[in-house]
A and B are shown apart, each in its own frame.
Chain A
Amino acid sequence: MNMTELVTKELINLNLQGSTKDEVMEEMIDMLNRTGALKDREMYKKALYEREMEGSTGIGFGIAIPHGKSEAVKRTSIAFGLKRSGVDWDSLDGEKAKLIFMIAVPTEQAGNEHLRILQLLSRKLMDDDFRERLLDARKVDDVVQWFAQII
């Protein structure tokens, strides 16, 4: 298994429309919902916002990783959205978020393999070059390919 099973083409949007955090959240939840990753859209949304209440998931470096672990999730999925002009995410460093990874994890995590992949992605995001490449991405296929290389 590799990351391409968690992020399919339909879950990548290199040109997010929303210009606020809430709009981007809605947009990306819809992406996940369209692929059938969610059982209950509203319940998942609630889990996301509950997590945001604990502290912003804007971790700096232009990255935000809104994530929700919820019964409302059918299968582990990641949606990736790019907002070149950036969105205010209450980030710790005040920087706007440009790379947004929305993570959906079911409460009953069947295998650790999915978590392992999320771990690899998290580590990879700390790599400056990798972030630069994502910020300059033009084609969805390229992004899929880069994700596939994360092992």
Chain B
Amino acid sequence: MKLVAITSCPNGIAHTYMAAEKLAKTAEKMGHTIKVETQGSIGVENELTTEDIKNADGVIIAADKQVDKSRFHGKRLLEVSVTDGIRRPEELIAQFEKNEVPVYMEQTAAMKLKSVEEVKKERSQKQNPVYRNLMNGVSYMIPFVVIGGLLIALSLAIGGEPTAKGLVIPKESIWNHIFNVGAASFTFMVPILAGYIAVSIADRPGLAPGMVGGYIAANGSFYGSQAGAGFIGGIIAGFLAGYIVKAIKSIRVPQVIQPIMPILIIPLCSSLLVAAIFIFILGQPIAGIMEGLTSWLNSMQGASKVVLAMILGAMISFDMGGPVNKVAFLFGSAMIAQGHADIMGPIAVAICIPPLGLGLATLLGKKKFTNEEREAGKAALAMGLVGITEGAIPFAARDPLRVIPSIMVGSMVGAVIAMLSRVADHVPHGGPIVAVFQAVDHVLMFFVSIIIGMIVTALLVNILKKPVDADN
């Protein structure tokens, strides 16, 4: 017989290896071959390959720690404590000889309604590193955009006085201070984005070079440009800083210098390098791209606006909070700080339509959904109200071919209506909740867009779906 095994224990110092040794020796004595993967404090060693697992007649997991079993779907699998691996390896192997070990079946999507958390977890495991680094930066940046967008919108809406030059806040008014606080928060947006992208790549030493690089990217005066390289520059600065720090960290240095590496050498060298690259090479071209993007958005009229809204709407619902959704979301958020809150408006509408629309569908077409799904429908309504697209995931995971097109069409319709009626959203978040915070311009049309999108989604999904047995 060919066996594979995994051993692991909480401290990962001794038991893991004792069990591995014992299993290997015993298997050999009993005339079988075995490969043992150890998950100790040194890390994973002698890792089982897909090939190993494919060829194995059985799997032994001797562990007192959680071991991922998904690789062993369809294999005979015996799960015991690590001490069993040390104490009674003969018995374990004999169970395989006697054919007493059951086959391990992983629960698949079709068998189970996945929760939002499960899907999110799976996604983050599958994410590629570039995307993960980017999203780390974005998640730290968002609060700054929220504070900036919200305070500026509020102070203009309440404290502003209409003049020939548009809304102006009187100098002596308290709202002028609040406006400035919001503006201060915006200043941090790009440096934080860049800093935490770098942290995700190179850990803590990445922070300072990333933030300094981000600041330079955002301030065109460093390289003789008026506009600055904006969020695209920030992203590039973050990745540059991260990889430069990572490279410097991997250089072997004499023991004497080691203590000053993280506080002196690494930040200094990498900051200077990132700064030089931006000032002399990248700054101007990226600033040019940003200017182009802004003037393109300014010049957009009628038909092209509709196309943009359709694309953004479709992207938002396509993977419900996944990478495609986040790209559209990031674009919208970045445009708020560039003075284009009217891009975020349609996105905010599109964000809440999938969960709200599906929730509505479960109320309208009771026969088309299982009991479980109808429960998920209520949760989806609640999540939709606070702008969490992920609320639609349980439905889409079960029946993607009918659900995803329905929500995409619904979000596209909603986004187009919002775009044409100039709905703007000053915070990077979606759903009715943002209207509660006074962050939306043209509130009435904001709700009209959402409601129409919801109805379109609900009707479409109920037409496409077949009735299910109630007790299924």
Those of A38-86 within 8 Å (CB) of chain B: 51, 54-55, 59-60, 65, 67, 69
Query: Interface residues of B, CB < 8 Å — how many?
Result: 21
* A109/B41 in contact, CB under 8 A: yes
Interface string of B20-45 (1 = CB under 8 A from A): 11100100000000000010111100
User: B1 near A: Cβ within 8 Å?
Assistant: no
Interface residues of A in 86-141 (CB under 8 A from B): 92-93, 103, 105, 109, 112, 115-116, 118-119, 121-123, 125-126
Q: A59 touching B41 by the CB < 8 A rule?
A: no
Looking at chain A's contact residues, the main secondary structure is mixed
What residues of A have a CB within 8 angstroms of the CB of B20 in the complex? 123
User: In the complex, A65 Cα to B86 Cα: how many Å?
Assistant: 13
Is B83 at the interface (CB under 8 A from chain A)? yes
Q: Which of B13, B22, B38, B64 contacts A103 (CB 8 A)?
A: B13
In this complex, the interface size class of chain A, counting residues with CB under 8 Å from chain B, is 20 to 34
With contact pairs A109-B41, A115-B40, A115-B41 given, residues A65 and B87 touching in the complex (Cβ less than 8 Å): no
B15 an interface residue at 8 Å Cβ cutoff? Answer: yes
B83 CB, min distance to chain A CBs, angstroms = 6
What residues of chain A lie closer than 8 Å to B17, measured between beta carbons?
118-119, 122-123
For B15, what are the chain A residues with a Cβ–Cβ distance below 8 Å?
59, 122
Q: Which of B53-71 contact A (CB under 8 A)?
A: 64
Partner of B18, one of A54, A59, A103: A59
The answer to whether B83 touches A69 (Cβ under 8 A) is no
Which A residues are in CB contact (< 8 Å) with B11? Answer: 51, 67, 69
List of B residues within 8 angstroms of A55 by Cβ? 64, 83
CB B96 to nearest CB in A, in angstroms, measures 21
> A105 vs B41: C-alpha distance in the bound complex, in angstroms?
11
Q: How far is the CB of A36 from chain B (nearest CB, A)?
A: 21
In the complex the two chains form, is A93's CB within 8 Å of B87's CB?
yes
Query: Is B14 positioned at the interface, with any CB of A under 8 Å from its CB?
Result: yes
Interface assignment of B10: CB less than 8 Å from any CB of chain A: yes
A54 engages B10 (CB within 8 Å): yes
Residue of A69, A109, A119, A123 ringed by the most chain B CB atoms within 10 A: A119
- B21 near A118 (CB under 8 angstroms)? no
Task: Contacts A67-B13, A69-B13, A116-B42 given; indicate if A92 touches B18 (C-beta within 8 A).
Answer: no
Chain B residues near A126 (CB-CB < 8 A): 18, 21-22, 25, 86
Verify B87–A119 contact, CB threshold 8 A. no
If A112-B42, A122-B21, A126-B21 touch, whether A103 touches B14 (CB-CB below 8 Å) is yes
Q: What is the distance, in angstroms, from A121's C-beta to the closest C-beta of chain B?
A: 8
CB <8 Å contact, A65 and B42: no
Q: Which residues of B contact A93 (CB under 8 A)?
A: 87
Instruction: Write the nearest CB–CB distance from B330 to chain A, whole angstroms.
Output: 37
Contacts of B21 in A (CB 8 A): 122-123, 126
Contact of A125 among B10, B18, B64 (CB under 8 A): B18
Q: Which of B11, B14, B16, B22 has the most CB of A within 10 A?
A: B14
Expressed in whole angstroms, the Cα–Cα distance for A144 and B23 within the complex equals 28
Q: In angstroms, how far is the closest chain A Cβ from the Cβ of B312?
A: 48
User: In the complex, what's the smallest C-beta–C-beta distance from B154 to chain A, in angstroms?
Assistant: 47
Is A60 a contact partner of B42 (Cβ separation < 8 A)? no
Ordered nearest first, which 6 A-B pairs have the shortest CB separation? A122-B17, A126-B21, A123-B21, A122-B14, A119-B17, A122-B18
Given contacts A67-B11, A115-B13, A122-B15, 9 further A-B contacts (CB under 8 A): A67-B13, A93-B87, A103-B14, A105-B13, A109-B41, A123-B17, A125-B18, A126-B25, A126-B86
